[in-house]
Chain A
Amino acid sequence: MEPTAKYKLRENFHQAKWDEPIIFELHTPGERGVLVPEAEPEVAEAVGDGLSALPDNMIRKQPPALPEISQMRVLKHYLRLSQQCLGADLNIDIGQGTCTIKYNPKINKMLSASPKVTELHPWQDPSTTQGALEIMYCLDTFLREISGMSRFSLQPSSGSAAIFIMVSIVEAYHRARGDADQRDEIITTIFSHPSDAAAAAVKGYKVITLYPGKNGLVEVEALKAAVSNHTAALFITNPEDTGIFNPQIHEFTHIVHKAGGLCAYDQANANGLLGITRAREADFDMCFFNLHKTFSAPHGCGGPASAAVGVVDNLIDFLPVPVVGFDGKEYFLDYNLPQTIGKTRGFYGIFPVILKAYAWIMSLGAAGLKEAAQVAVLNNNYLLEHIKKIKGAASPYSAGKRRIEQVRYTWEQLTQDTGVTTEDVTCRMADFGFHLWSSHHPFVVLQPFTIEPTEAYSKDELDEYLAGLQKVVQEAYDDPEKVKNAPYNSVVHKIDHSTLDDPEKWAITWRAYLKKHRKVGSQD
């Protein structure tokens, strides 16, 4: 590949670095950031100062030690901190595998900032929120078609929240049938999201985690050995975080169903499958999608997010309430689900994110969704083809086979040859303006790195990222110390993590930091 300006590796990149103090260090007594209106004179006359009506023991006599800072300075401070983040809008964000970081259309951001969205209260009479309810209902119908499930709840606050709802439905289902006590096990896989295991434990289930065989997939025999009349459900992602699609998934669901368990499909990895295959054809009883991954809503530094949980006919009654209904003329909030697990979240769902997902689907349509999936898979296999050739890198399992939308790679050879680890590579990649993520824990694949390009980046951008990987690997072989002491062009230098696990030293807040490390009170 000849370097051209179109994908030149940014060897002179330097991230914004403001050396910005902590907000408390900007405190200047007397400064005001924003003023609050006073109550009208007649109001004050009628009721007095308001405070005297409080019981004396409840009145706050010492004001909270918040900093006092004028408005422009607050703005400047947070703008500078924002510049010290590598948002997807600014970088080739393919190195956060499993996160599906695609383009977040700005038209959708603009639409969700309308007062027609931001100034709605959930308890308004439904006659005044028909627009919001219509969008929620329509998204439900779109997702039914995309998945083959019969009804969706848009209540979940995130993928993990959706998983918890699915676990709650499993529990309620078996309790209604009288064998909840006996069915006390949930089966998942090590390459499914940690929340698939963790949410099950919250509900008191014993978690059985299946590991892959040598082709990277859980073997049918392993599943058969784990399934029994104690099995409440199987929670599985397909393709898993390796990017390998399990062709025997239908046999898996059959085995679990035969034993009386339910099958829950974690569709965090749906981006390569839209319009190709669905939860229904594999015989899942329920599934969820991340609206902030596959369906293009932004990740917001870690939320707000949204997920949608879909179920087959005989599980609809268990969904959290309300769902949105349509009687042919009006949309309404439907609380009439006789065996509902109740509520898991205040009100109805993350409407601004729901709106973005709706708009994305409307922009693309059926052909567009399939194109997005196919190009995501094409991009991923393009990267796979080139990364396989990088010295020190490999894609374990299923040698010679294709992947779906992401790949779990390994730097094991690189580490053996040079001592440079996956954490080191990640730090050096930051010097070129890139993220590179390793893997969920535990590291089944050693020295892992996971790349998921999605459909959102051009070939030139993929080539730039590849050039970055090749450069860092070259440096690892030529001058490992250089890579190990990275980053050099990022926001800060090597971080000392040793204090963060020590109760005597950790400081989760500034006031704790001052007490433990500066031995002063919380404000000078």
Chain B
Amino acid sequence: MRKQSDFVHPYIPNSVPAVKARIMKEIGIESIEELYEDIPEALRLGRELNLPDALPSECALKRHVEQILAKNRPCNETISFLGGGCWPHYVPAVCDEINQRSEFLTAYAGEPYEDHGRFQTLFEYESLMAELLEMDVVNVPTFDWCQAASTSLRMAERITQRTEVLVIDTIAPDRLSAVRNYCLPDVKVALVRHCPDTGRMDLDDLKAKLSLEVAGVYFENPSFLGFIEDQGQVISEMAHENGTLSIVGVDPISLGVMIPPSHYGADIVCGDIQPLGIHMNYGGALAGFIATRDEEKFVMEFPSRLFGITKTSVEGEYGFGDVAYDRTSFGVREKGKEFVGTAAALWGITAAVYLSLMGPKGMRDLGQHVLQKVQYAMKKLSAVKEVKAPRFAAAHFKEFVVDFNDTGKSVAEINQMLLDRGIFGGKDLSDDFAELGQSALYCVTETHTQQDIDQLVTVLSEYL
């Protein structure tokens, strides 16, 4: 057991006793305790922290952590049909190559001089997303879609000076919870119903709820439940006639084959860039985007940093900096818009690399492949006795609801059976969407082979 007095650790260079002594001599102290003179005795812990024995040798640490991680059975060791905002897409090697570079990984908040690369890369991220979305303003990433949706709604509140928002009732449950908390207490959140057969927004219900107090109406496309909302233009027009903003949450992977929300009247567009070159990481690698038109009344409501391009004192040289910095809480604390801080910049950098690699043809090829695989899965599953896939009579992208109500088995039972056969079945929706009964959300992407889908169908057919 190493003594405190000669504890030297590779991460603490000045823990070498001779160096420590020299520093102490130079600053005229005999004990480090003197440096803590401002902390009263009554506030001292006065004992050692009770933590597990240290593993200071790297070899032992590695073994220890790997032993714990070995208890995980990740999706690359099984077939998984889980999605719901954390999606399995292929991550090109160059994406990981770039986001593991020390220069990017360990940079932080330097100036646009010595950290110029960070500014340019994030400006390029904003710009590449802008082409996907066909909008001229995109923020430096926020935490995730929950935050992006919440902030989009509060932006609508500030822009219109109204205090109610309407949210489609098929919104992801996590996002509804986050939105409710973020709006409490100043903004009222009400739900708009969907049509039970197609999933589309119920326009009569929207009309009834579009009062002059409504700042924004929010819907998702594709829906959390996978179907495509094709009434965007009408929804936006109804909103605009009422002085309400149209806010859409979109899956960026769909935008190689589907029109962006700006084409059907959306004023604020948000979503998550996790599908753009970022591994699933247990749901711990998300990043939210918010996009608007380049109008001052929108730009000035963003809480995020916005990196802009400018000139330097040398002709032809690009410089970068913060646009309208005094709009943020960094500039003016509580007088700024909401709050901003460290969020998910490295994922923005990763998405920039992804979109640069994919280009327009890659995004289209990917979108087409996803559509084909999803349609194949729905077709095959609907041929299984008593299974209805998809549950909603609409076009779908990447995900769809599978209705097991007529099978007499619960989704929990089905998923346990699938688990025993090395398959992670779709997410059980019976708690969050009670009206769907025993239904599950299945996700299919370009990472699923025909074999994977056939295997699922075979196993289900045998069981049901």
Contact = CB atoms under 8 A, between A and B. Distances in A.
Interface in B66-103: 66, 68-78, 80, 82, 84-86, 88, 90, 92, 94, 96-98, 100-103
Contact of B38 (A101, A355, A401): A401
Contacts of A2: none
A63 B49 contact: no
A374 B69 CA distance: 32
Interface string B365-405: 11011111101100100000000000000010000000000
A61 B356 CA distance: 20
Nearest to B337: A198
Interface in B165-217: 172, 174-175, 177-178, 180-182, 184-186
Interface string A124-150: 110111111011000000100110000
Nearest to B361: A32
B360 A63 contact: yes
Interface stretch (B236-244, B319-327, B455-463): B319-327
B308 A34 contact: no
Contact of B58 (A33, A107, A404, A457): A107
Given A54-B257, A275-B48, A134 B355 contact: no
A121 B88 contact: yes
A487 B66 CA distance: 46
A247 B274 CA distance: 45
Contact of B20 (A118, A199, A375, A427): A375
B450 A362 contact: no
A326 interface: no
Interface in A493-524: 493-497, 499-501, 503, 506-513, 515, 522
Given A131-B70, A509-B137, A302 B38 contact: no
Contacts of A127: 419
B169 to A, nearest CB: 17
A117 B66 CA distance: 10
B51 A459 contact: no
Nearest to A486: B113
Nearest to A130: B71
Contacts of A64: 131-132, 134, 255-256, 260, 360, 363
Interface stretch (A38-46, A257-265, A468-476): A38-46
Contact of B54 (A93, A115, A198, A368): A368
A82 B104 contact: yes
A220 interface: no
B9 A352 contact: no
A508 B307 contact: yes
A197 interface: yes
A311 to B, nearest CB: 16
Contacts of A121: 74-75, 80, 82, 86, 88, 280, 282-283, 424
Contacts of B137: 508-509, 512
Interface in A329-388: 341-355, 358-359, 361-372, 374-375, 377-379, 381-382, 384-385
A195 B70 contact: no
A370 B48 contact: yes
Contacts of A276: 36, 39, 44-45
A46 B35 contact: no
B120 interface: yes
B72 A46 contact: no
B11 A203 contact: no
Nearest to B108: A299
Contacts of B433: none
Contact of B109 (A69, A82, A99, A362): A99
Contacts of A303: 141, 143, 287, 342-347
Given A303-B345, A345-B146, A491 B113 contact: yes
Interface stretch (A70-78, A226-234, A412-420): A70-78
A381 B330 contact: no
A455 B12 contact: yes
A182 interface: no
A69 B438 CA distance: 47
Contact of B372 (A50, A93, A372): A50
A203 B116 contact: no
Nearest to A165: B181
Contacts of A82: 98, 101, 103-104, 117, 121
Contact of B323 (A19, A343, A440, A501): A501
A79 B136 contact: no
A20 B233 CA distance: 41
B437 interface: no
A327 interface: no
A277 B47 CA distance: 10
Contacts of B272: 346
Contacts of A277: 39, 43-45
Nearest to A105: B11
B156 interface: no
Contact of A85 (B9, B117, B282, B427): B117
Given A57-B233, A343-B174, A368-B9, A508 B23 contact: no
Contacts of B320: 495
B268 interface: no
A199 B35 CA distance: 33
A378 B14 contact: yes
B113 A204 contact: no
Contacts of A105: 11
B115 to A, nearest CB: 5
A479 to B, nearest CB: 19
B417 to A, nearest CB: 12
Nearest to A17: B116
A363 to B, nearest CB: 5
A497 B154 CA distance: 29
B230 A58 contact: yes
Contact of B185 (A145, A163, A203, A302): A203
A222 interface: no
Contact of A209 (B58, B90, B123, B333): B333
B147 interface: yes
Given A346-B174, A375-B15, A508-B136, A37 B369 contact: yes
Contacts of A458: 13-14, 19
B127 interface: yes
Nearest to B221: A58
Nearest to B144: A346
A43 B372 CA distance: 7
A351 B283 contact: yes
A458 B20 CA distance: 10
Contact of B12 (A35, A74, A372): A372
Interface in B238-252: none
Contacts of B98: 75, 78-79, 82
B283 A348 contact: yes
A487 B147 CA distance: 37
28 contacts: A33-B358, A34-B358, A55-B228, A60-B260, A60-B364, A63-B256, A65-B360, A81-B120, A87-B103, A128-B78, A129-B72, A130-B72, A134-B68, A142-B51, A168-B184, A171-B184, A204-B185, A245-B39, A300-B104, A302-B118, A347-B86, A348-B282, A350-B285, A369-B51, A370-B49, A441-B330, A455-B12, A510-B124
The 3 nearest A-B residue pairs measured at CB: A365-B54, A347-B283, A84-B117
Given A31-B359, A66-B360, A88-B107, 20 more contacts: A22-B318, A53-B375, A64-B134, A68-B361, A109-B105, A120-B280, A132-B72, A159-B342, A171-B185, A197-B329, A301-B115, A347-B85, A347-B284, A362-B52, A362-B55, A363-B58, A375-B12, A378-B23, A499-B310, A510-B124
